[in-house]
């Protein structure tokens, strides 16, 4: 029986044995040890003819195969009540090691494929320093946190919530543009700064609070004003930029 062997494709003796088992289309649980051993030794002979250095594990496996072959050839005396199932199979340990190696090899191939797929993806950086470099050196909200601004907004929201609920929805006569204009006028008249809560009219509803708050955020975004808080949980002041 002629067959070809690629010497570079085998990572060790178990890799070669699995190749021979697949090539001969035999059951891994019922290995024809004589034929597999013969082909395995032929592989080592090819390596010697090509002046290739044979790794020690290949030689150890050759000795193991010859030992198993010898054990299977030697007839064993039977007891009167002993059956074929009671006689230990000399190939049992080899089969167990082959199955374990095959499992590891398949897992390695799966991980290699996942690594190949992952190499095609580029993850977006999520470090704070990366985003800080996208903005200018001056930050109108420097020292302030989103939680602080949210707390100030919720304080005004709770006051508006205590008023009577609106029973009917009508088009409100207030716009973000109008409130931006009003807040800018207030800042021009008060260069020393405005208290955050003072930009909300005393008798205002929820819609007015929302529109007025959005107008303030838009002014900050455009760099027309900034906010400052001297101490934690202290009053927030608005200043013209």
Read off the pLDDT of residues 86-95 as tens digits, 9 standing for 90 and up: 556 778 888 8
Domains, the chain, in order of start with CATH, read 7-76+86-116 (no CATH), 137-165+172-240 (1.10.10.580)
What torsion, rounded to 10 degrees, do the Cα atoms 202, 206, 211, 214 define? Answer: 100
Check pLDDT > 50 for residue 108.
Answer: yes
- Pick the range with the lowest mean pLDDT from 79-93, 143-157, 173-187, 209-223: 79-93
pLDDT confidence of 1, banded at 50, 70, 90? very low
Picking from 10-24, 139-153, 166-180, which range would have the lowest pLDDT averaged per residue?
Answer: 166-180
- For 43, other C-beta atoms within 10 Å of its C-beta total 19
The arithmetic mean of pLDDT across residues 101-122, rounded, is 87
Asked if pLDDT for residue 55 goes beyond 60, the answer is: yes
Q: In which order are the strands placed within the sheet that holds 194-195?
A: 194-195, 236-240, 225-229
**pTM score, whole prediction:** 0.40
Q: What is the pLDDT of residue 5?
A: 46
């Amino acid at each position: 029986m002629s067959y070809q062997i690629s010497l570079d494709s085998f990572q060790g003796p178990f890799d070669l044995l699995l190749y021979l088992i697949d090539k001969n289309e035999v059951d891994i649980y019922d290995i024809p040890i004589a034929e597999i051993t013969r082909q395995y030794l032929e592989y080592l002979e090819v390596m010697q003819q090509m002046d290739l250095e044979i790794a020690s594990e290949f030689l150890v496996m050759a000795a193991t195969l010859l030992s198993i072959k010898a054990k299977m050839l030697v007839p064993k005396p039977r007891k009167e009540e002993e059956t074929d199932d009671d006689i230990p199979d000399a190939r049992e340990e080899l089969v167990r090691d082959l199955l374990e190696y095959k499992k590891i090899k398949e897992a390695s191939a799966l991980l290699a494929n996942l690594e190949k797929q992952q190499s095609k993806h580029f993850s977006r950086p999520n470090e704070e320093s990366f985003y800080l470099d996208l903005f200018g050196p001056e930050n109108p909200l420097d020292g302030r946190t989103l939680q602080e601004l949210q707390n100030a907004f919720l304080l005004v929201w709770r006051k508006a919530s205590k008023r009577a609920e609106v029973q009917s929805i009508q088009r409100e006569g207030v716009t973000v543009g109008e409130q931006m204009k009003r807040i800018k006028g207030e800042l021009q008249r008060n260069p020393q700064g405005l208290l955050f809560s003072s930009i909300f009219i005393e008798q205002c509803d929820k819609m007015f609070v929302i529109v007025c708050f959005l107008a303030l955020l838009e002014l900050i975004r455009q760099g027309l004003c900034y906010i400052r808080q001297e101490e934690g949980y202290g009053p927030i002041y608005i200043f013209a930029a």
